[in-house]
Structure formats: C-alpha cells, structure tokens
Amino acid sequence: MTFIDKLQVASRKNKSLLCVGLDPDPELMPRVGLLTFNKAVIDATSDLVCAYKPNLAFYEAMGIEGMRLLQKTIEYVPRHIPVIGDGKRGDIGNTARAYAKALFVTLGVDAATVNPYLGFDSLEPFIEYQDKGIFILCRTSNPGAADFQSLSDINGVSLYQAVAQKAKEWNVHGNIGLVVGATYPEEMKKIRTMCPEMPLLIPGVGAQGGDLTSAVKYGTDIRGEKAIINVSRQVLYASKGKDFAESARRAAQELRDKINGSISQVR
C-alpha cells in the first residue's frame, strides 16, 4: 500500500483530515514519561486522525534515548494510520540517500518532509521510494517565510509558485505533496489550483493563528480530501493534569468535527 492509499484509507475510516503532531516538549508535558505520554495521546486519538507527524527535532534534542523513544512511538501507531517524519531534510548525493534510508527504512515512516533549496538531485533519493510520501516545503507557515518564498522573477512568478511547478514535474510516481501553511490562505488557493491532485500538509492552524475554515476551503481537493491539517500544541497540551489524554481526545474531536463542518460548508 502506498502512502497515498494509506492516507485515504485512514482519512475515510476516521472521517478525518486532522493530523496530530507528536512533538513532546518536557516543559509543557504533564509529569509522565515521554513514551507514556505519546502512547496515551495515540490511544486517545487514533480513531480521530488521518495521520501522525512527529517532528524529529524534539527527539534528536534528547540524544540517543530520544531517538529510541521516537522509534518506539512510530512502532506504536496503529498500522493503518500513516506516520509523517518531519525532519525537513535536504542534501545531495550520498547524504541525501542516507537521509532517505534513515527515515524510510531505519525509522520506517510512511512520509517525510524535505527542503527543495538544493534542487532535484537532493530530493531524488526520497522520490525513488515510490511507496512513500514526500512533502516538499512550498509556502511555510512561519512569518519569515516571506523573506525568500515571496520573491518573484521578472514574470511575476513567486518562488513558492516555482517550487509547486517543479513538484508537479517531479511527481512521476504520484508520491509528492506540498507543505503549505494555513497562515497564507491566498497562496494556498493558488497552489491548490496549480496542483489539484497533490496532498497538502497544512501546518499553522491553532497556535500560529491560521484560519481553519480557509485551510479546508483552499487546501482540500475537488472531493474534499487530500488536505492533512496538522495541529500539535492545541491537542497535546489541552491539559497538564492527569486527564491529559482525555483532554487531548476532546480537543482532537472538536477539531475534526470543525474540519468536517467546514467541508460541508465549502463543498
């Protein structure tokens, strides 16, 4: 089963476009072990999500033990739900091949985020894993994204639009998607028009201030699918008390239902 197949199965089974980011921050977590925390959140939300997205940085910061906990977290996710390894990798030659192998073989994630700044040869080793998903950074959700991504050529084509166009050309295996922040809805609208069939990984809803309704309206495809709306802190840290898992479930269910309600309004 390819990543896209797995995503659509999970999304339709759970009636969900919600992705929960498994980004544990010891300063925000309740007083439990990291693996206990992750397992409890997964148990509480696995019938409400289309995917999970651990950000590798939170685990790498903990050293070898953090990577061991990441591996165990990935293994704990139900097999029918895809895991997106968020590492934003991007390098050339043997290094790119090693990054791709580390994510797709060693860690066993179903998809990965990658940085296109070094061009096609830096992404080709990832794309060659035809059953895996590759999410190329296109229009990211952070304020500084405009420093480069909004720059235009003499024809008025912005860098993020050039990235989207290249992604279409590289998508020979149908396994490429784009990262597009909910904080830039107009740009998202343009990208979805350019890439009507691609899955979009959409961060920026919640703590970063992105509008959920706009993300649904402009991020989904013609069938109201292929948008992966990622939320982390709003779900993970709904409570610091003993009820953290129950609170995470309530937050996730509320978000999923709001997303579904928005789909009904815009379709």
Residues designated as active site: 88
Name the DSSP class of 145: G
Q: Phi/psi class of residue 150: alpha, beta or left (left: φ > 0; alpha: ψ in -120 to 50)?
A: alpha
Closest by Cα among 160, 89, 82 to 124: 89
Q: Which alpha helices (H) appear in 171-211, and where do they start and end? A: 185-194
Segments of the chain assigned E as strands = 18-20, 51-52, 84-89, 111-114, 133-139, 176-180, 200-202, 227-231
- Spatial separation of the C-alpha atoms in residues 172 and 235, rounded to whole Å: 36
Distances (CA, A) of 257 to 11, 213, 218, 254: 13, 12, 18, 5
